[in-house]
């Protein structure tokens, strides 16, 4: 079994690129990493830990575990409209298997590369498999998308489709193992909406990523903004194949209360809808209006559904919907 | 048992201080925290995870566990000469007991307050008790103390005393439980040398914190600096009471190879020794010369001692010396 130094050196040391504008003044290998934040920007930071058997199935493919651990943290940057810059990883493993680590690092570093995120630090420990990821991004302080900017009369819209995370989990639990299956990919290889979040700067008044389920996350947005919401009864963007997988009622429940979708839920003034759709369309991302915000607090229009959402210390410790919506 | 939202709200939400210069533009409660780094400074970041039964005894006092989890990360900032600004905490707990959490947060937030560190984010998960802490500090880019600046002919010196971490662990294993015992306090309530690190800016040529044991950490410093070291046979600053606890030979072994001391090991030119001692004396910190650096690589002068140090994935999973010296 490789030693810890070897684990870091072999799988997670990315050679610095000469002249790269990655803001890393002193990389891995010293007591700290030294970073050079961009002048005039604010630093957006968030941390999430993914635990085997809680946030993902222990026997999920290592590549997916690596990808997913980073993706759920990057999704928080997406929801601020921030551009990702750096991340740190805290890796706890029961053992250090070469094959597993090679795939895991491929998933993690692959997403780093595709999103312009530089891994600048980390540590490894022995224990039940868990991955803690701290992400750091940058955003214009005047434009950052918070949860608190929504106003009554504005539209409520979501990127992409809903329910795919819960649908993929259900398929996994039934034995589906093909990562090319769109729903399984949605659950195990979520794509954080980074470009969409940045494209919505100046248009959206508030944003949150959907990790705990639409209703739960909408509740957070409404609470922080001091508004309520009226959800439309029709026209929801259910993930493709969700009805086949879960049935009609199950699909709608998954869209409302399932976690792990990692889409963006935003508010915006009606006059900005066309421009927002145009910008997102150029990224291949749909934007669907699912309701509007009201002066009266509370969420209405989905009377048959209880206000769900996943909270740890109450869950059963089984793989289930995500758990990202804590302190950032 | 309180829910996760309640855990964060009840124990870790520090009310923002109006007009405080903490650089927090948007605090806990959104997707990310927004921070305002100081112009002209570099950001120094590091992450460390402390796992029950690996890095600290599971039955250690909760206050000590909270303090210690932050202290070991802050020690990395100290070794760069950085001023701590912010931290994020990833907390994994088997259960959320009110009494335990109250003490834990007291230890963690108490050290935050004493060191000027603001907790700006975190998440909580159910699982084997583990605490991941990401620290962020600031340092003048021209003055930061790296491991790579030492040159031959320079002196090798340590702050404070050595062996106290290993001595405290030995006492704990023998049943000592009084946190007022100086050695036990050294092990369970280490005090990161933040002021000393900043005071050494411009004087020390290289620095590292002693977490894996003096010899192991000296090895890192020498490797990064491309030098060797000749250790003096006498005059080592052993922690008070160490000889009584471990015997003469055991005490010297603890000083050389024991982990968890969290002192600074530095190199400096002989002409700067007086000024360095003067600055540290004003902080109540001693600086002891224990050797000098040589052009010839390798560590000499302690022939009876093997080059020790703690590495995970090779350890036995029992509480043992710290594990901080990975990627930052």
Q: What is the pLDDT of residues B70-126, one digit of tens each?
A: 999 999 999 999 999 999 999 999 888 899 999 999 999 999 999 999 999 988 888
**Which pLDDT score is estimated for B94?**
87
Is A116 marked within a binding site? Answer: no
Question: Cβ A5–B132 below 8 Å, yes or no?
Answer: no
Q: Is the pLDDT of residue B318 over 70?
A: no
Closest among B251, B156, B163 to B207, alpha carbons compared: B156
Question: Cβ B123–A47 below 8 Å, yes or no?
Answer: yes
Give the CA distances from residue A118 to residues A21, A26, A62, A89, B229, in Å, rounded to whole numbers and listed in that order: 11, 12, 20, 11, 34
**Which pLDDT score is estimated for B95?**
86
Q: What secondary structure letter does DSSP report for B60? A: S
Contact call for residues B241 and B183 (beta carbons, < 8 A)? yes
Measured in residues, chain B has a length of 328
- Convert the pLDDT of each residue in A124-135 to its tens digit: 888 889 999 999
As to burial, measured by CB atoms within 10 angstroms (0-12 exposed, 13-18 middle, 19+ buried), residue A304 is exposed
Lowest mean pLDDT among A16-25, A64-73, B53-62, B270-279: A16-25
d(CA A234, CA B133): 44
Is B59 marked within a binding site? Answer: no
Average pLDDT, chain B: 89
Instruction: Give the pLDDT mean for B45-69.
Output: 95
**Which pLDDT score is estimated for B127?**
83
Q: Is the pLDDT of residue B306 over 50?
A: no
Q: Which residues touch A141 (CB under 8 Å, ≥6 apart)?
A: A40, A41, A42, B25, B34, B36
Q: Is the pLDDT of residue B305 over 50?
A: no
Q: Closest CB to A4: pick one of B35, B146, B312.
A: B312
The domain B155-300 belongs to what CATH superfamily?
PurM-like C-terminal domain (3.90.650.10)
**Which pLDDT score is estimated for B145?**
96
Closest among B303, B174, B164 to B233, alpha carbons compared: B303
Measured between CA atoms, the residue of chain A closest to residue B315 is A126
Measured from the Cβ of residue B214, the count of other Cβ atoms closer than 10 Å reads 30
Q: Closest CB to B45: pick one of A54, A88, A323.
A: A88
With contacts defined as CB-CB under 8 Å, which chain A residues touch B32?
Answer: 44-46, 76-77, 79-80, 82, 137, 328
**Architecture of the domain delimited by B4-139:** 2-Layer Sandwich (3.30)
d(CA B72, CA B190): 8
Is A122 marked within a binding site? Answer: yes
CA–CA min distance A243, chain B (Å): 30
Q: Is the pLDDT of residue B53 over 50?
A: yes
Pairing state between β B83-93 and A33-35: unpaired
Q: How far apart are the first and last CA of chain B?
A: 35
Domain boundaries, chain B: 4-139, 155-300
Q: How many CA atoms lie within 13 A of A223 on its CB side?
A: 9
Measured from the Cβ of residue A106, the count of other Cβ atoms closer than 10 Å reads 15
**Which pLDDT score is estimated for B16?**
66
Question: Cβ B326–A5 below 8 Å, yes or no?
Answer: yes
d(CA A79, CA A144): 9
With contacts defined as CB-CB under 8 Å, which chain B residues touch A48?
Answer: 90, 123
d(CA A324, CA B310): 33
Closest among B262, B178, B173, B168 to B213, alpha carbons compared: B262
Helices (H), A81-163: 98-115
| Helices first, then strands: H and E counts in chain B | 9, 12
**Which secondary-structure segment (H or E) carries A56?**
none
With contacts defined as CB-CB under 8 Å, which chain A residues touch B328?
Answer: 28-33, 88, 120-121
- What the block records as the tokens of A157 is 């819209």
d(CA A89, CA A130): 10
Is B98 marked within a binding site? Answer: no
CA B37-B119-A36 angle, 5° bins: 25
Lowest mean pLDDT among B1-10, B231-240, B311-320: B311-320
Pairing state between β A83-93 and A118-126: parallel
Closest among B180, B181, B182, B321 to B262, alpha carbons compared: B321
**Model ipTM?**
0.87
Contact call for residues B211 and B55 (beta carbons, < 8 A)? no
Measured between CA atoms, the residue of chain B closest to residue A9 is B327
**Which pLDDT score is estimated for A10?**
79
Closest among B195, B129, B127 to B160, alpha carbons compared: B195
In chain A (328 residues long), the average pLDDT of successive 10-residue segments reads 64 71 83 91 94 92 98 98 96 90 96 96 87 96 92 98 97 96 97 98 98 95 97 93 94 93 98 98 98 96 52 38 41
Q: Closest CB to B47: pick one of A54, A77, A121.
A: A121
**Which pLDDT score is estimated for A309?**
46
- Convert the pLDDT of each residue in B208-262 to its tens digit: 999 999 999 999 999 999 999 999 988 999 999 999 999 999 999 999 999 999 9
Closest among A217, A212, A201 to A80, alpha carbons compared: A201
Question: Cβ B125–A324 below 8 Å, yes or no?
Answer: no
- What the block records as the tokens of A303 is 């009377």
As to burial, measured by CB atoms within 10 angstroms (0-12 exposed, 13-18 middle, 19+ buried), residue B248 is exposed
Question: Cβ A328–B37 below 8 Å, yes or no?
Answer: no
Is A310 marked within a binding site? Answer: yes
Closest among B276, B171, B283, B262 to B214, alpha carbons compared: B262
With contacts defined as CB-CB under 8 Å, which chain B residues touch A326?
Answer: 4-5, 8, 122-124
Q: Closest CB to B34: pick one of A32, A42, A207.
A: A42
């Amino acid at each position: 079994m490789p030693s810890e130094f070897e684990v870091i050196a072999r799988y997670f040391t990315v050679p610095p690129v000469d002249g790269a504008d990655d803001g890393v003044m002193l990389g891995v290998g010293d007591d700290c990493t030294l970073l050079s934040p961009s002048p005039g920007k604010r630093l957006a930071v968030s941390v999430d830990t993914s635990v085997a058997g809680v946030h993902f199935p222990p026997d999920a493919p290592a590549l997916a575990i690596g990808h997913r651990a980073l993706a759920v943290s990057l999704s928080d940057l997406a929801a601020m409209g921030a551009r990702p810059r750096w991340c740190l990883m805290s890796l706890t493993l029961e053992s250090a298997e070469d094959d597993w680590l090679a795939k895991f690092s491929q998933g993690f570093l692959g997403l780093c590369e595709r999103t312009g995120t530089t891994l600048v630090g980390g540590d490894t420990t022995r224990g039940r498999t868990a991955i803690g990821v701290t992400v750091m991004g940058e955003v214009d302080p005047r434009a950052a998308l918070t949860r608190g900017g929504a106003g009554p009369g504005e539209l409520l819209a979501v990127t992409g489709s809903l329910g795919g995370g819960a649908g993929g989990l259900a398929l996994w639990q039934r034995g589906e193992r093909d990562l090319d299956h769109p729903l399984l990919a949605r659950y195990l290889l979520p794509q954080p909406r980074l470009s969409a979040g940045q494209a919505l700067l100046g248009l959206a008044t508030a944003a949150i990523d959907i990790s705990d389920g639409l209703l739960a996350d909408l509740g957070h947005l409404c609470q922080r903004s001091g508004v309520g919401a009226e959800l439309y009864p029709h026209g929801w963007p259910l993930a493709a194949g969700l009805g086949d997988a879960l049935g009609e009622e199950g699909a709608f429940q998954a869209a409302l209360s399932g976690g792990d979708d990692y889409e963006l839920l935003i508010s915006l003034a009606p006059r900005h809808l066309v421009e927002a759709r145009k910008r997102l369309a150029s990224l291949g991302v749909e934007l669907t209006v699912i309701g509007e915000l009201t002066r009266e607090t509370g969420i209405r229009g989905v009377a048959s559904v209880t206000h769900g959402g996943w909270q740890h210390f109450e869950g059963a410790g089984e793989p289930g919907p995500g758990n990202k919506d804590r302190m950032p």
